[in-house]
Chains A and B, each alone.
Chain A
C-alpha cells in the first residue's frame, strides 16, 4: 500500500497493518517517536491497535535539539 509519511510517498507491504508494525518496519519502535495519523495525534497506547490503510497520511516526529 501507499502511504504519505512526512510529506513523502512511501510504499509498504500490506502485511504492515498497525502503527506499531509500521514503526517496527522502519526500526523506529525503540525511538521516542510521536505519530499523527490523518491529522489526529495518537496516544502511544493506541499504536498497537490503530490500523493503517492505503492513502493514509502520517507524520512521525521526535524531539531534536533546539532553544
Chain B
C-alpha cells in the first residue's frame, strides 16, 4: 500500500497524461496501467473553441486521484498560483510542485521548489515536490513537511533511466515519507530498478505516451513496477566476488 498524506493507493505507478497519440489510446493505456493517480497541467482555455476535446472529460474522474502539476512555473510565486488554480477546480488538493530553473535541461530550481513547497504546505495542500537527486535537498523538503519526495531519475522526457542510483538510494534510505521516482524513466527495467532500490512508486509519462505502442508499454510498466517492488520486499542476495554452487557438492556419483 502506498500512502501519501491522507491518500492510500494499491498501485505504485503514477501516470502522466501528456503527449499520447490520441484519446482512445490514452484511455486504453491508462486502463491497463491500473494507475490510480493521473497527473495534469493547468493551462489557459481557448475560449473561442469551446468544443476542443479534453481528456479529463473522457475520464471517470471519481476513479482517479488527480495530481496537477505546476509545470510552466519558473518561480515559487507562479507555482503557488498554479496550485491554487488547480485546487479551485474542486477536483483535488494534491499538487506536484514543479519549478523549472533551466529550459534546456528542465532541471528543477531547488530554491524556488523549497519556497513553493513551504508555502503550499501552509495553505493545506498535499504537496509532492519534483526535485533533483540531491540528497540534502530531499531531506530539507521532508523537514518542511512534504508528503512525498519525487527525485528525478534523469532529465524529464530524456529516457536515460537512473543516472545516479547511489544518490537515489541515499534519498530512499533517509526518507520517512514516500519516495516517488519521477522523470527520466525510459524502459520497464528502469522502473524495476527504481523499485528494487526501494522507491515507493514511479511517476512516468513520456516512456509510455511516446512508445511505439503506448498501451503495451503501459502494461509493461505496471508489471515492471510490481516486479521491482516484490523483489525489493523479498530481499536480494548479497553480491559475492566468486561463485557459490547452487547444486549440492556432497553425494556426487563419480564415474571411476
Contact = CB atoms under 8 A, between A and B. Distances in A.
A1 interface: no
Given A26-B48, A42-B88, A65-B41, 13 more contacts: A6-B44, A26-B47, A32-B56, A33-B45, A41-B85, A43-B88, A61-B45, A62-B42, A63-B54, A64-B41, A65-B16, A65-B17, A65-B40
Interface of A: 5-7, 10, 26-28, 31-34, 36, 41-44, 59-67
Closest 6 A/B residue pairs (Cβ): A66-B41, A67-B16, A67-B205, A27-B50, A65-B17, A63-B40
Nearest to A43: B88
Interface residues of B, number: 39
Contacts of B145: none
B71 interface: yes
A45 B84 CA distance: 16
Interface in B210-245: none
A12 B139 CA distance: 51
A65 B55 contact: yes
B47 A61 contact: no
B69 A63 contact: no
30 contacts: A10-B47, A26-B47, A27-B50, A28-B45, A34-B42, A34-B89, A36-B85, A41-B85, A41-B88, A43-B88, A44-B88, A61-B45, A62-B42, A62-B43, A62-B45, A63-B40, A63-B41, A63-B54, A64-B41, A64-B43, A65-B20, A65-B55, A66-B16, A66-B40, A66-B41, A67-B39, A67-B71, A67-B156, A67-B203, A67-B206
A61 B44 contact: yes
B44 A26 contact: no
* Residue of A6, A34, A36, A66 with highest tally of chain B CB at under 10 A: A66
Contact of A5 (B40, B47, B66, B204): B47
Interface in B51-96: 51, 54-57, 66, 68-69, 71, 84-86, 88-91
Contact of B91 (A32, A43, A59): A32
A62 B91 CA distance: 11
Nearest to A44: B90
A32 B203 CA distance: 25
B101 interface: no
Interface string B175-207: 000000001000000000000000000011110
Contacts of A7: 44
B28 interface: no
B57 A66 contact: no
A30 B91 CA distance: 15
A6 B42 CA distance: 13
A41 B84 CA distance: 8
Contacts of A31: 45, 50, 54, 57
Contacts of A27: 50-51
A61 B41 CA distance: 10
B18 interface: yes
